Structures are given as C-alpha cells and as structure tokens.
C-alpha cells in the first residue's frame, strides 16, 4: 500500500481502500480520457460563445456537485470532501496568523477565509455557492498574505494550532448516508467536479481561476 508522507493515516487509508473499488479501476480511466476530449471541444466553443458569465454558472456547478454528493458519492468520498472544504480555510487563517486573520464571520456562509464553513445540509451548500467560493480562497490568501509580517509572527504561528475542523457542522453527511447509492469514490467525485466546472464555467478571469484551482487540487489528490 502506498503511503504518502504528508497525508495523515486516515486519508492514506481512504486512498488505499479506493484502489480496490470497481469505479477506480474501470471508470476513472474513462472519465480522465473523456475530460481531455471534452476540453478540446468546449474551450474553442467557449472562446466564441461563453467568454463572459451568463449568471447561471455557479448554480449549475453546485447543483451537479450537490446532486453527486447526495446520490452518488461513497460516504468516504463525501466525508473527505467536507474535510477538505473545512480544513483549507482553517489552515489559511492559521497561516495568516495573528497579524491578519479575523474571527469567523458567521454571516458569510462558505465564502471567504473568515466565513462560516459549517455545512448543515445540501441546500446550504447549493444556496451559498460552495464550489466557486471555496476555489477563490486560495486567491484571497495570496492577496492578504504579508511575507514580512508572517516572518515576524512565525514563532507565534508555530506555537499555536489551527482551529479544529470537527467543531464545524458536517450534518450534510447525514443526507449522503440516507440517500446515496455509494457508487463513486473520492477520485471520481473530484474528477466529475472538475469536469462540471470545465463544462459550465465561462472563460472570464474569475472562472478561469476556479477551473485552474479545481484542476490543481484534482492532480494533487485533494
């Protein structure tokens, strides 16, 4: 079993178990091949027809994402996705440290580093545009990061711990347990999310950033 040194035992175990699943062995190569084939068709069309947002893109992406989370994802895939969605902003708050991070803003749901990332239901994820909001976090942390202040506070940052993601609600997983057919593991769920972003996203600067961000995460196994 492959063990990735910078991933905790839980995630290593999920990935190792997934490699024995039928969808990883049979479906993953088909999705990967079809994804690159789709790109050769959709990007030239978008360059002509979809260079600016029409307004429905974020909703369409999150509708398909939440539908897959509810009905297709295995429980391990759904939990891994929620852990990723919630841990990333907490790590960014920790990196920003005492010089920049602000208390959690409960009025901002699933958007912004200081937003509230509790996910109580599928409807919460859909209504608050989870996918695009999450992808934009990596650009927000770059905008807010100050190298000199970070180095000046490095000892304090090292001595502290990030907030515990278990304190955030993951009640959305109850819907997965209740309704999902448990068909797709983590890798295929991520690949389908990336494919959905590629198909529905426009070629404006914001959506290009989201597409690149999601593609980078998929390549890194996030």
Question: What percent of the chain is modeled with pLDDT above 70?
Answer: 88
Report, as an integer, the average pLDDT of 192-221: 66
Q: Which of the two residues, 28 and 104, has the higher pLDDT score?
A: 28
Q: Do residues 83 and 76 lie in contact, with contact meaning Cβ atoms separated by under 8 Å?
A: no
**Binning pLDDT at 50, 70 and 90, where does residue 102 land?**
low
Q: Both tokens of residue 183?
A: 């068909």
Q: Is the pLDDT of residue 105 over 80?
A: no
**CA-based diameter of the chain, in Å?**
52
**Residues 6 or more apart from 146 whose CB is under 8 A from it?**
99, 100
Give me the pLDDT at residue 98, please.
74
Give me the pLDDT at residue 2, please.
66
Give me the pLDDT at residue 5, please.
80
Give me the pLDDT at residue 111, please.
94
Map tokens 């494919």 to a residue.
195
Element (H, E) at 203: none
Map tokens 């960014």 to a residue.
92
Give me the pLDDT at residue 94, please.
93
Helix boundaries (H) for the chain: 9-18, 22, 28-49, 57-71, 75-100, 122-127, 130-135, 137-144, 147-152, 154-159, 172-179, 186-200, 205-219
**Binning pLDDT at 50, 70 and 90, where does residue 206 land?**
low
Cα-to-chain-centroid distance, residue 137: 10
Give me the pLDDT at residue 103, please.
64
Q: Is the pLDDT of residue 188 over 70?
A: yes
Q: Is the pLDDT of residue 181 over 60?
A: yes
Integer CA distances (angstroms), 182 to 23, 87, 128, 133, 222, in order:
11, 24, 25, 26, 19
* Mean pLDDT for the chain overall: 88
For 32-76, write each residue's pLDDT tens digit: 999 999 999 999 999 999 989 999 999 999 999 999 999 999 999
Question: What percent of the chain is modeled with pLDDT above 90?
Answer: 75
Give me the pLDDT at residue 143, please.
93
Q: Both tokens of residue 118?
A: 């509790």
Q: How far apart are CA 29 and CA 67, in angstroms?
A: 22
Q: What is the 3-state secondary structure (H, E, C) of 20-66?
A: CCHHHHHHHHHHHHHHHHHHHHHHHHHHHHCCCCCCCHHHHHHHHHH
**Residues 6 or more apart from 62 whose CB is under 8 A from it?**
125, 126, 129, 130, 131, 132
**Binning pLDDT at 50, 70 and 90, where does residue 219 land?**
very low
For 131-174, write each residue's pLDDT tens digit: 989 999 999 999 999 999 999 999 999 999 999 999 999 999 99
The pTM is what?
A: 0.85
Q: Is the pLDDT of residue 215 over 50?
A: no
Q: Both tokens of residue 109?
A: 């749901």
Q: HSE, CB side, 13 Å, CA atoms: give it for residue 204.
A: 12
């Amino acid at each position: 079993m492959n063990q990735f040194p910078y991933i905790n035992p839980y995630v290593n175990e999920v990935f190792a178990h997934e490699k024995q699943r039928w969808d990883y062995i049979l479906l993953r190569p088909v999705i990967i091949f079809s994804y690159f084939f789709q790109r050769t068709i959709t990007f030239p069309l978008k360059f002509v027809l979809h260079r600016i947002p029409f307004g429905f893109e974020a909703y369409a992406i999150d509708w398909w994402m939440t539908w897959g989370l509810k009905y297709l994802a295995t429980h391990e895939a759904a939990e891994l996705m929620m852990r990723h969605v919630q841990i990333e902003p907490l790590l960014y708050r920790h990196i920003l440290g005492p010089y920049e991070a602000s208390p959690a803003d409960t009025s901002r749901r699933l958007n912004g580093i200081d937003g509230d990332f509790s996910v109580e239901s599928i409807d919460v994820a859909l209504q608050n545009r989870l996918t695009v909001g999450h992808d934009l976090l990596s650009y927000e942390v770059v905008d807010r990061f100050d190298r000199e202040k970070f180095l000046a506070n490095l000892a304090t940052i090292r001595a502290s711990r990030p907030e515990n993601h278990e304190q955030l609600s993951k009640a959305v997983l109850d819907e997965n347990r209740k309704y999902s057919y448990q068909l797709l593991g983590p890798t295929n769920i991520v690949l389908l999310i990336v494919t959905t972003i590629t198909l529905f996203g426009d070629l404006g600067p914001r959506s290009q950033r989201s597409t690149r961000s999601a593609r980078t995460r998929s390549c890194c196994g996030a």
